[in-house]
Amino acid sequence: DYLIDAPVSAGDGFSFSGGKYSDGPNPSDEWFKQGKFVKAYPVGGTGEKAKDPIFGLTMGAGSQASGDVFRWFSVESGNADNPTVILVHGFPSQAYSYRKVLPVLSKNYHAIAFDWLEYVSALESFVNEVATNKVSLVVQGYFSPVVVKYASKNQEKLNDLILLNPPLTAKHANLPSTLSIFSNFLLGEIFSQDPLRASDKALTSCGPYAMKEDDAMVYRRPYLTSGSSGFALNAISRAMKKELKAYVEDTKAILMDKNWKVRTTVCWGQRDRWLNYDEVEDFCKNSNHKLIELPMAGHHVQEDSGEELGGIISGLISRRIVT
């Protein structure tokens, strides 16, 4: 019912700040100038106007779903004729988290990072829209189970699957308190509308990442321009808190299945404060998947070790590219 990509000019009246911090040039503008909107996946809504879940009031035009397809904000880098690498951010985060990885990959690949919705069929629609040939998929954190499920249904579409600190073990089946608070009744509704808690707190509590103000302005921007981003965060958090155990079990089953054919690598930032490293090494040995450890990175590997990660990804997928 809620769009994540409401334009900056659209304020729906339900965000705490209602817009940018200032009317002057914003550091986040340069990032958004690099991107474009890709239309993919039909919207199957009821046709009714979206309403906020607290008061039941109809939200502003900028937060209403269109009548045709979802719009995905996407940033592309590199030659489109080169093999495609699609970068999927974690929860809660944005494509911006891969800004240090994109320049490294763009030397030899067509790299695409995007802000996305958590649905397997929607992801399939987006991948098919931006890449006609086989792709390499990189995904970080709590959105890994959705990407793994997509990959299991589309193995013929993938060259490689690279997982960055994914939830893989029984110890990973509970959301950390920083995220689970968004799923609490009423309290979660309030906190998910607070850009400092929804972006800054969520991104800096899980590892060594120290957010700079210019970066913070990008991460806060959705929460400052539309309340719909907060409501979407709240809805996804509730779903994940309820289903995460099943998601993790499904992920393990898929990756350890004898019919799994996709070359898979797990990259693990060892300073992750949310997901415990215990049993990850055993999982990779038992499933015969490659494990790469990044000692200086936390949960958001691409933030802490972006250039290093770009080199690792480039090296992994250069071994075999099939189009």
- Are the C-beta atoms of 298 and 207 separated by less than 8 Å? yes
Look up residue 93 and give its two tokens: 């985060």
What pLDDT, on the 0 to 100 scale, is given for residue 167? 97
Give per-residue pLDDT as tens, 90-147.
999 999 999 999 999 999 999 999 998 777 888 999 999 999 999 999 999 999 999 9
Q: Is the model's pLDDT at 188 over the cut of 90?
A: no
Which percentage of the chain shows pLDDT scores above 90? 60
To the nearest 10 degrees (0 to 180), the angle between helices 144-153 and 227-256 is 50
Are 100 and 306 within 8 A, CB to CB?
A: yes
pLDDT grade for 63, boundaries at 50, 70 and 90: low
Q: Tell me the CA end-to-end span of the chain in Å, nearest whole number.
A: 37
φ/ψ (deg, to 5) at 302: -70, -25
- Percentage above 70 pLDDT, the chain: 81
Instruction: List, in sequence order, the alpha helices (H) in 85-186.
Output: 102-105, 120-130, 144-153, 177-180
| Furthest CA-CA distance within the chain | 57
Domain ranges within the chain, ordered by starting residue: 74-318
246: how many CB neighbours lie within 10 A of its CB?
11
Average pLDDT in the chain = 85
Q: What is the DSSP string of 124-142?
A: HHHHHHH-SS-EEEEEEGG
Structure tokens at 130: 């931006």
pLDDT of residue 14: 40
Predicted local confidence at residue 59, as pLDDT? 60
Angle between helical axes of 280-287 and 227-256 (0-180°, round to 10): 50
The three-state secondary structure class of 279 is coil
Mean pLDDT of 32-60: 70
**DSSP reduced 3-state for 163:** strand
Separation between Cα atoms, residue 234 and residue 237, nearest integer Å: 5
Q: Collapsing DSSP states into helix, strand and coil, what is residue 110? A: strand
Tokens, residue 136 = 């390499």
For residue 42, the model assigns a pLDDT of 72
What is the Cα–Cα distance from 62 to 6, expressed in whole angstroms? 5
Nearest to 178 by CA among 274, 269, 94: 274
Angstrom distance (rounded) from CA 291 to CA 266: 5
- The CATH class of 74-318 is alpha beta
Read off the DSSP letter of residue 143: G
Segment 166-180 shows an average pLDDT of 94
